[in-house]
Structure 1
Amino acid sequence: MLRTFGATRPLGTRDHDEVMRLCGHDPASSVFVAARVREGGLMSPGSAVGIDDDDGGLRSLCWTSANVVPIECDEVALDLFAGRLRRQRRRSSSIFGLADQVLPLWARLQRHWGQPRSFRPDQPMLAVSTLPSEAGLERHPGVRLARPDELDLVLPASTAMFTEEIGYPPYVGSDRDYRALVASLIDAGHTFVLLEDGRVVFKADVGSLALGVAQIQGVWVAPDRRGQGLATPAMNAVVEHVLQTLAPTVSLYVNGYNEPALRAYHGAGFRQVATFATVIL
Structure 2
Amino acid sequence: MLTTRHGVRPLGAADLAAFLELARRDPVVNVFADYRASTTNLEPRWLGGEMWGRFEGGELAAACHVGANLVPVQAGPEDAAVFAERAMARGRTVSTIVGPQDAVRVFWNGVAASWGRPREKRWEQPHLEISAPPQVTPDPLVRRTTRRDLNELYPACVAMYTEEVGVSPEANGGGELYRARVAQLVSRGWSFARFDDRGRLLFKAEVACATPYAAQIQGVYVPPECRGTGLATAGMAGVVEIVRREIAPTVSLYVNEWNTSARAVYQKVGFRESTRFATVMY
TM tier relative to shorter chain: over 0.9
C-alpha separation in 1, matches of 2:81 and 2:106: 9
Q: 1:260 to 1:39 in 2, by over 3 A?
A: same
Return the TM-score normalized by structure 1: 0.93
Identity of aligned residues (%): 39
Give 1:142's aligned residue: 141
Instruction: Letter of the 1:64 partner, please give it.
Output: V
- Answer yes or no: is 1:126 the counterpart of 2:125: no
SS in 1 for 2:124: strand
2-structure distance, mates of 1:212, 1:25: 11
Tell me the amino acid that sits aligned with residue 217 of structure 1.
Q
Change over 3 Å in CA distance of 1:234–1:36 after alignment to 2: same
The alpha carbon displacement at 1:10 in A equals 0.8
TM-score scaled by length of structure 2: 0.93
Give the C-alpha shift of residue 17 in structure 1.
1.0
2:154 aligned residue: 155
The size of the alignment, in residue pairs, is 273
Following superposition, the deviation at residue 190 of structure 1 comes to 0.3
Identify the residue that residue 273 of structure 2 maps to in structure 1. Answer: 272
- Partner in structure 1 of residue 170 of structure 2: 171
Letter in 1 for 2:72: P
Matched, 1:243 2:244: yes
The aligned runs of 1:200-239 (5 Å cut-off) are: 200-239=201-240
Deviations 1:79-125 (A, max 9, x none): 22111111113111100111011111111111111211111100001
Task: Please list every run of 5 or more consecutive structure 2 residues that lacks an aligned counterpart in the other structure.
Answer: none
Residue 95 to residue 14, structure 1, CA distance change in 2 (3 Å): same
Contact 1:41–1:47 (CA<8 Å) still a contact in 2?
Answer: no
Deviation of 1:211 after TM superposition, in Å, equals 4.2
| Structure 2 counterpart of 1:158, one-letter code | C
SS state of the match for residue 94, structure 2?
Answer: coil
Root mean square deviation of aligned Cα: 1.4
Q: What SS is found at the alignment partner of 2:264?
A: helix
Q: Is the 8 A contact 2:212 2:247 kept in 1?
A: no
**1:48 maps to what in 2?**
51
Unaligned runs of at least 5 residues, structure 1: none
Displacement of 1:280: 0.8
Secondary structure class of the residue paired with 1:168:
coil
Q: List aligned pairs for 1:88-107, cutoff 5 A.
A: 88-107=90-109
